[in-house]
Amino acid sequence: MAEHLIEMHQIKKSYKLGEVTVQALRGIDLTIDRGDFVAIMGPSGSGKSTLLNLLGCLDTPNSGSYFLEGKDVSRLDQNSYAAIRNRKIGFVFQTFNLLPRTIALENVELPLFYLRNSRVQNPKKLAMEALKKVGLADRMFHEPAQLSGGEQQRVALARALVNQPSIILADEPTGNLDTKTSLDVISVFQELNNEGITIVLVTHEPDIAQYTRRIVKMRDGLIRQDYTVEIRRDAKKDLVEFKDETE
Amino acid sequence: MLQLTNLVKAAYRSILKNRMRSLLTSLGIIIGVSAVVIMVAIGEGAQMQIERQIASLGTNMIIVFPGSRSSGGARLGAGSYNRLTLDDVEKIRQEATLLTAISPVVFSGGQVIGGVSNWSTAIIGVSPEYIQIRDWPLQEGYFFTEKEMRAKSKVAVLGKVVAEELFPDQSPVGEKIRIRNTPFRVIGVLSEKGQSAYGQDQDDVILAPATTVLYRLKGGTHINMILASAVSTERMETAQEELERMLREAHRLEPGDDDDFRLRNQTEITEAASETSRILTLLLAAVAGVSLVVGGIGIMNIMLVSVTERTREIGIRLAVGARSSDILIQFLIEAVVLSLTGGLFGILFSFGITFLLNELTELYCHINLAVVFIAFGFSGAVGIFFGFYPAHKAAALNPIDALRYE
């Protein structure tokens, strides 16, 4: 019996916003298995970003349990969370969040710099391979300012992959991209997932969700729907069609 | 613990990414360190100059001045002004065991006519041992002897400046001059001595037997000073004590009486003269040290701005697995690298400035290597101390908030 990659039971999280306490998550039960491709959707204020932050160990729940690869990670110390973020999690953000004035290769190397208890022989080589995987091997010496939005997001994806994490978490990865570039990036996600990489992405665009395998809909801090995608789209194919249409 | 070399390399990369800001940040340190080194160099150079000048006055010199008698701290006036005499000198010469030479000094002055011109100068009456005490060899001719002292002969030895004024084209030796209308014969010329520590031109002088000056030019029996040379620097104090004892005897002073003369030795004079310079050096170094601290405050301020500007970057690092301590160490090392590099540039700059000062001005600068190392170390300490607060702020950032920062 394979354990679930992620098991969350009754996760609750609230914030203080000045005088008011906001109940962002009011009791989340969620399991994610290896190889899943999950889209978390919901209106603004539904708690989807909070959920993603908790999944990525950027924050801790007020109550409930979170099992990652069979281990309880709900109440650990800061350094342990840092280690989990380094080895187990790969983040992709809406605003790319690359280090400015730093070449792509060095950006991708960043997680390796903080790797502990592991001798990495050639970090540059690992970084190059990650860039190759996202199709940007020829841009490794470019700085973010010299890259397009789509290219920057792919560099961010390569950085998320370089430490071979258990799961990729993406917060609105196509939010800042145009349609064509979005398709480009989503096709890379699909490719990676087809190779077995687990991906959870947060989006408010239903179109994007159609490229994933499973949709989790949230509202007011609770999961309302959780279902498999019936008709899954293929980003590569759609990209070709899109190009034909616009050219 | 991530390797130190990697961290330092990363720090340098960060610093080089924003060269202008890094330069401005470390400017305070550069100026502070170079100021400290230069100030101390100028001060030490001045001290060394003074010491050298005083050392050129003579060897192991003890000077005796006449002092006025004081009773209960109040001076008793001219009537009780006690005198040093040639007899004092004679007594000391016969009885002292720790002195190699002794000479009376009688000051006089006046118009001298001779050669092609006339000249107003100082005339000093001394004994033959004077030039030994003063380390002052002759350039030409001879110095007078005991015989001429006893005979009160009218012979004179000219200082270089006087010789050049009166006899520019010939040797003065053997020539006749008139000192205040008394005829004298020139028997020698002194070699160049230069300026004294007090700024006087030592070559503008005529030396003659003390007996001659006293009886033929000045009148009276009292002399202005006694100069003596101690056997060695180590025995200087003992020699001074012996001298004091002898003078008290000669002046018939009771055990309870104050000395009616004052004794100074060359070491004391050197120390007194360079004391002012030493205090000034300390003061300058302190001011420069303050500027170093100000430089540190500058580092802290700019690093605080840097931390704020790099909030996003810190968030990214935390998100990919950096610990708080990693962030703390990163920023701390950046601060220290900045301050040490600034310190290095400051030292190089100070070397350049002191070199220029030595070449182009009258100032003599002497770099104190100990101060160089201290200033460099201090710049590192400033980096650690003033870099800590910004680094701490950086490390305390929450990743989610940091990533959201605009």
One-letter amino acid for residue B219 of the chain: G
Q: Tell whether A97 lies on the interface with B, counting CB pairs under 8 A.
A: yes
Q: Tell whether B2 lies on the interface with A, counting CB pairs under 8 A.
A: yes
Query: Which chain B residues contact residue A98 at CB under 8 A?
Result: 316
Tens-digit pLDDT profile for residues B200-222:
788 999 999 999 999 888 888 88
| Residue A64 and residue A8 in contact, taking contact as beta carbons nearer than 8 Å | yes
One-letter amino acid for residue B131 of the chain: I
Count CB atoms within 10 A of the CB of residue A125. Answer: 10
- Distances from the Cα of A139 to the Cα of A37, A81, A131, B127, angstroms: 28, 32, 8, 94
* pLDDT on residue B5: 79
Nearest chain B residue (CA) to A87:
B321
| Residue B222 and residue B229 in contact, taking contact as beta carbons nearer than 8 Å | no
* pLDDT on residue B2: 56
Q: Do B403 and A114 touch (CB under 8 A)?
A: no
Q: How far is CA A166 from the centre of its chain?
A: 11
From CA B343, how far away is CA B337, in angstroms rounded? 10
* pLDDT on residue B1: 46
Number of A:B CB contacts under 8 A?
57
Q: What is the DSSP string of chain A?
A: -PPPSEEEEEEEEEEEETTEEEEEEEEEEEEE-TT-EEEEE--TTSSHHHHHHHHTTSS--SEEEEEETTEE-TT--HHHHHHHHHHTEEEE-TT--PPTTS-HHHHHHHHHHT--SS--S-HHHHHHHHHHHTT-GGGTT--GGGS-HHHHHHHHHHHHHTT--SEEEEESTTTTS-HHHHHHHHHHHHHHHHTT-EEEEE-S-HHHHTTSSEEEEEETTEEEEEEE-SS---HHHHHHHHHHHH-
φ/ψ of B109, rounded to 5, equals: -175, 175
Give the one of B320, B326, B403 whose C-beta lies nearest to A85's C-beta. Answer: B320
Q: Tell whether B321 lies on the interface with A, counting CB pairs under 8 A.
A: yes
List, in sequence order, every residue forming a beta bridge with A30; answer none if it has no partner: A8
Q: Tell whether A58 lies on the interface with B, counting CB pairs under 8 A.
A: yes
Nearest CA-CA partner of B270 in B59, B13, B6: B59
| Residue where the block lists tokens 């935390």 | B318
Q: Do B317 and A86 touch (CB under 8 A)?
A: no
Nearest chain A residue (CA) to B326:
A114
The structural domains of chain B, with segments of one domain joined by +, span 2-53+281-404, 82-259
Q: Tell whether B348 lies on the interface with A, counting CB pairs under 8 A.
A: no
| Residue A37 and residue A173 in contact, taking contact as beta carbons nearer than 8 Å | no
How close B279 gets to chain A, by Cα (Å)? 51
For the whole model, what pTM was predicted?
Answer: 0.75
| Residue B158 and residue B172 in contact, taking contact as beta carbons nearer than 8 Å | yes
Query: Which chain A residues contact residue B6 at CB under 8 A?
Result: 113
Tens-digit pLDDT profile for residues B221-231:
888 999 999 98
* pLDDT on residue A192: 93
Tens-digit pLDDT profile for residues B12-23:
888 888 888 888
Over chain B (406 residues), what is each successive 10-residue block's mean pLDDT?
Answer: 74 84 86 90 86 80 77 48 81 88 91 90 94 90 91 92 91 91 92 77 92 88 90 86 88 80 84 83 87 85 89 94 92 90 93 91 85 90 91 93 86
Tens-digit pLDDT profile for residues A110-160:
999 998 877 778 889 999 999 999 999 999 999 999 999 999 999 999 999
List, in sequence order, every residue forming a beta bridge with A42; answer none if it has no partner: none
φ/ψ of A167, rounded to 5, equals: -150, 145
* pLDDT on residue B232: 84
The mean of the pLDDT values for chain A is 92
Burial of A207 (0-12, 13-18, 19+ CB in 10 A): middle
State whether residue B61 is helix, strand or coil. strand
Could you tell me which residues come within 8 angstroms of residue B393 by beta carbon, excluding any fewer than 6 positions away? B304, B307
* pLDDT on residue B396: 94
Query: Which chain B residues contact residue A17 at CB under 8 A?
Result: none
Asked whether residue A240 carries a pLDDT value surpassing 90, the answer given is no
* pLDDT on residue A17: 84
From CA A157, how far away is CA A141, in angstroms rounded? 16
In the stretch 117-176 of chain B, residues with CB closer than 8 A to chain A read none
* pLDDT on residue A90: 96
Q: Tell whether A110 lies on the interface with B, counting CB pairs under 8 A.
A: yes
Nearest chain A residue (CA) to B319:
A85
Nearest chain B residue (CA) to A90:
B320
Could you tell me which residues come within 8 angstroms of residue B19 by beta carbon, excluding any fewer than 6 positions away? none
State the pLDDT confidence band at A54, using cuts at 50, 70 and 90: very high
Could you tell me which residues come within 8 angstroms of residue B137 by beta carbon, excluding any fewer than 6 positions away? B131, B190, B191
* pLDDT on residue B197: 63
* pLDDT on residue B82: 63
DSSP H or E run through B96: none
* pLDDT on residue A219: 93
How close A213 gets to chain B, by Cα (Å)? 26
Interface probe with A: pick from B320, B328, B404, most Cβ of A within 10 Å: B320
Rounded to a whole number of angstroms, the distance between the first and last alpha carbons of chain A is 51
How close A161 gets to chain B, by Cα (Å)? 11
- Distances from the Cα of A32 to the Cα of A69, A70, B67, angstroms: 10, 12, 105
Helix A179-194 with A149-161: angle, nearest 10 deg: 20
Give the one of B316, B318, B323 whose C-beta lies nearest to A99's C-beta. Answer: B316
Count CB atoms within 10 A of the CB of residue B88. Answer: 23
- For residue B63, is it left (φ>0), alpha (ψ between -120 and 50) or beta? beta
Q: What is the DSSP string of B167-214?
A: -SSS--TT-EEEETTEEEEEEEEEPP--B-TTS-BTTSEEEEEHHHII
Q: Do B316 and A113 touch (CB under 8 A)?
A: no
Percent above pLDDT 90 for chain A: 79
Percent above pLDDT 70 for chain A: 99
